[in-house]
Amino acid sequence: MHFNQKKLTASVTAAMAMGVASHASAISFEAGDAKVDLYGYARLNAVYDIDESISRATGTQSGDFSRINTGADEDNEATGYFDADAVQSRIGVRTTLPTGVKVNIEGDFRGGSTGGTVRLRHAYGQYENWLLGQTWSNYNSFVGGTSVLEFDGVAGDPGLRFRKAQVRYTNGPLSLSVEDSTTRIEGATPKNGLPAFTARFEDKSDMVAFSTAAVVQQVGYDDGTDDDTAFGYAVFGSAKLTLTDTLSIQGSVNYSDGGNAYLWRSGTNYYGEDAYVVNGNIETISGMSGNIGASLKAAGGTFNLVAGMTEMDWDDAEADGISVSEKHERNTNAFFNYQWSPVKSVNLGVQYGYFKVKKVNGEDGDASRVLFAAQYNF
């Protein structure tokens, strides 16, 4: 049984973002022949870092793996840090023209070195099966995600959690895209000679919703003296099992080789290196990740529990003499939260989060935090 992919993606995205305004809650009006929806929210994120300060410098109070101390440095860290901001607040405009053309422009205030300036999130036009502009990468899905208050999500979430400039074609559950690529090479500046190519299949049958996707990209460099290229790829599978009206289990698995830019929360914080250079040659790096979670509606709200992990294989690079001892081999995080809506268009939540890092040299470190969020949708 097929379903409306756009409807599922919109509803799951809203749940993941703790009540993002949907078409139903947007402010709608007519402007000439166009229908216009104005939507967004105001949001407060407040965090107490229990054992060390790991909040990301650009706001939204998300935990940053790169700020977790390891080894002896972890023992010298002071404790107890509080911070809060409202830079996740968001505003967007959707316009539908009589011809069927749809235009969406959306921004938030996470831009700048410390947040607070406008950042473009979505800017695209859509007509029938075609979408052109910047929006979520086609190599991405929210189907198997567990709702968390953490803006940067869970390690092992499927696909790329950034928005990319692209041309996308969608026909039922299948979507194909050509996108601006994302590459990182240890020891060289990447040269993007080709765009990334993606394919995704997303559907639902009875109690199960699922998504699977693949991406292929060129990984290369040219420093004027030496140059080389290779091809990297990544694949994921994601699913949600709705057991009852109140209980669901969901999760995802990911594998990449030369495509760690699509392995969410790998590397130092967001994504790891795709390859390294040895004797002038590109050698790809593999990685894997996954997470699993459960959601239970109870006590007038929803309880969510999820744990995720990403891991990169640095063994070949180390054997080739590349200095990788300080690289992150594994990133792990886990969240437990309760979310509720006291009145329509208002969502509140409180969450405990745990983060852990393991480096190639064997050093590890962890951090715990409590996050409160209040979101007012329109």
Statement: residue 84 has pLDDT above 90: yes
The mean of the pLDDT values for the chain is: 92
pLDDT confidence of residue 116: 82
The tens digit of pLDDT for each residue in 193-239 reads 999 999 999 999 999 999 999 999 999 999 999 999 999 999 999 99
| Residue 288 vs residues 21, 201, 259: alpha-carbon distances, Å | 33, 20, 10
The whole-angstrom separation of Cα 140 and Cα 142 is: 7
The tens digit of pLDDT for each residue in 37-62 reads 999 999 999 999 999 999 987 789 99
The whole-angstrom separation of Cα 350 and Cα 370 is: 7
Statement: residue 15 has pLDDT above 70: no
Statement: residue 104 has pLDDT above 90: yes
pLDDT confidence of residue 127: 98
pLDDT confidence of residue 78: 72
Closest CA to 290 of 172, 185, 154, 174: 154
The whole-angstrom separation of Cα 163 and Cα 180 is: 10
Give kind and range of the element (H or E) at residue 347: strand 346-359
Q: How does residue 141 score in pLDDT terms, banded at 50, 70 and 90?
A: very high
Q: How does residue 190 score in pLDDT terms, banded at 50, 70 and 90?
A: very high
Q: Are 83 and 59 in contact (CB under 8 A)?
A: no
Phi, psi (5° rounding) for residue 24? -65, -30
Lowest mean pLDDT of 60-74, 117-131, 341-355, 361-375, name the range.
Answer: 60-74
Statement: residue 8 has pLDDT above 70: no
Q: Are 121 and 107 in contact (CB under 8 A)?
A: yes
DSSP assignment of 45-81: EEEEESSS--B-TTSTT-B-GGG---THHHHT----E
The percent of residues above 90 in pLDDT, for the chain, comes to 86
Lowest mean pLDDT of 38-42, 98-102, 115-119, 271-275, name the range.
Answer: 115-119
The pLDDT of 179-187, averaged and rounded, is 94
| Residue 81 vs residues 77, 129, 145, 217, 331: alpha-carbon distances, Å | 11, 48, 29, 41, 22
Q: How does residue 22 score in pLDDT terms, banded at 50, 70 and 90?
A: very low
Closest CA to 160 of 254, 262, 234, 232: 262
Closest CA to 232 of 249, 223, 220: 220
The CATH code of domain 5-377 reads 2.40.160.10
Statement: residue 20 has pLDDT above 70: no
| Secondary structure percentages of the chain, helix, strand, coil, to 5 | 10, 55, 35
Q: Are 272 and 182 in contact (CB under 8 A)?
A: no
pLDDT confidence of residue 24: 53
